[in-house]
Amino acid sequence: MKALLIRDLRLATRAGGGFGLALAFFLIVCTLVPFGVGPEGGTLSRIAPGILWVGALLSCLLSLDRIFALDFEDGSLDLLATAPLPLEGAVAIKAFAHWLVTGLPLALSAPVFGLLLHLPGPAYPWLVASLVLGTPALSMLGAFGAAVTVGLRRGGLLLSLLVLPLYVPTLIFGAEAVRRGAAGADPVVPLVFLAAITLATLALAPFAAAAALRVNLR
């Protein structure tokens, strides 16, 4: 499992789909929003929680198709399917590697991007907390979508259409937690729901993704 994780981390950084691309896209989103809605700090601070979460979500989408595509192309996926390690475990490791190179850097850098959108000061710790709790679900659901579309031509668009509706609950509770933190209210309730969604996803998605992979490899 450790060798598979190290291999995926190396592939993610060498293939150009790692955290650098996600961070660059996140920066572009946060930079363009003030041009579209105006530079007024009050307006930006009100929409900042939603914009930051939408930017993080879209940034995670950029490299989802690479989770299994490279392994499918060179035949490594067939070896993983017959390896002693259960395919569900391999899916979980690959989703974890995706989170390490996308979700975690986005969560740690989000306060910097929050400055561009005049995010209120009390919201910063809740922004990081919500992203740390929510982005693992994005990676795991993305792994499921990548497993369903692996091997398909132009599967990236289909992957986005499949995964985006599944991302909506995470987006709602994540943005709500940041909004409550910015308003000085208690953000614990949306954070609890966010953690519950992530735990349910981590428990169920590896089995669904492994089943999809077995079907596609037949």
CB contact set of 133 (below 8 Å; sequence gap of 6+): 174, 191, 194, 195, 198
At residue 19, the pLDDT reads: 60
How many structural domains comprise the chain?
A: 1
Please tell me the distance from the alpha carbon of residue 53 to that of residue 121, in angstroms, as a whole number.
17
Average pLDDT, the chain: 88
Single-letter amino acid code for the residue at 183: A
User: Which structural domain range is residue 102 located in?
Assistant: 2-216
Q: Tell me what the mean pLDDT of segment 68-89 comes to.
A: 80
- C-alpha distances (whole Å) from 110 to each of 96, 125, 194 are 20, 10, 18
Taking residues 177-198, what's their average pLDDT?
A: 94
Higher pLDDT: 153 or 45? It is 45
- H-run or E-run covering 19: helix 19-37
Give tens-digit pLDDT for 99-134: 998 999 999 999 999 998 999 999 999 999 999 999
- pTM of structure: 0.90
pLDDT at position 50 is 94
Q: What is the pLDDT of residue 84?
A: 79
By three-state DSSP, how is residue 151 classified?
coil
Residue-level pLDDT at 99: 92
What is the pLDDT averaged over residues 160-183? 94
